[in-house]
Amino acid sequence: MKMAVTIVQDKDVGKLLDRITKAGYSATKLASSGGFLRSGNTTLLIGVEEEKLEALLELIKETCKQRTELLTQVQPIMGPVDAHVPVPIEVPVGGATVFVLDVAQFLKV
């Protein structure tokens, strides 16, 4: 048995949970937060039999697509008076980060 620790952006988690439960997987949902953009994300703990792992990973890839968002970064301008001008930059967001761990024992009590 494997444990897929899956970190997903909040925008994608609802659709992913719908798809994995319809496919017969079960997941435990944990609220978490990202560090770079300080945007919300969710960590899913998904227990899966080893022979079903590749199908689960494919489902995650299909559902959690990477996209770009504009982030406004304030940059200082040197002059007689210190001023800050917002500069929009594109940053990649979305997708999923998945850690696959071996499970030594699984109990449901």
Q: What is the pLDDT of residues 19-35, one digit of tens each?
A: 999 999 999 999 887 65
Q: Which two tokens stand for residue 32?
A: 């978490």
The predicted pLDDT at position 100 comes to 97
Question: Could you tell me the pTM of the whole model?
Answer: 0.74
> Between 74 and 51, where is the model more confident?
51
Does 76 map to a domain? Answer: yes
**Domain presence at residue 109:** no
Whether 72 is covered by a domain: the verdict is: yes
Does residue 108 lie within any of the structural domains?
A: no
Nearest Cα neighbor of 41 from 96, 99, 100 is 96
Domain that holds residue 14: 2-102
Give me the number of domains the chain comprises. Answer: 1
DSSP H stretches of helix in the chain: 10-22, 53-63
Flag whether 107 is in a domain. Answer: no
Give the tens place of pLDDT for each residue, 39-67.
678 999 999 999 999 999 999 999 998 77
Specify whether the CB–CB gap between 12 and 23 falls below 8 A.
Answer: no
Location of structure tokens 């850690």: 99
More confident position, 69 or 30: 30
Burial code (b: 16+ CB inside 10 Å, e: under 16) for 41-63 equals: bbbbebebeeeebeebbebbeeb
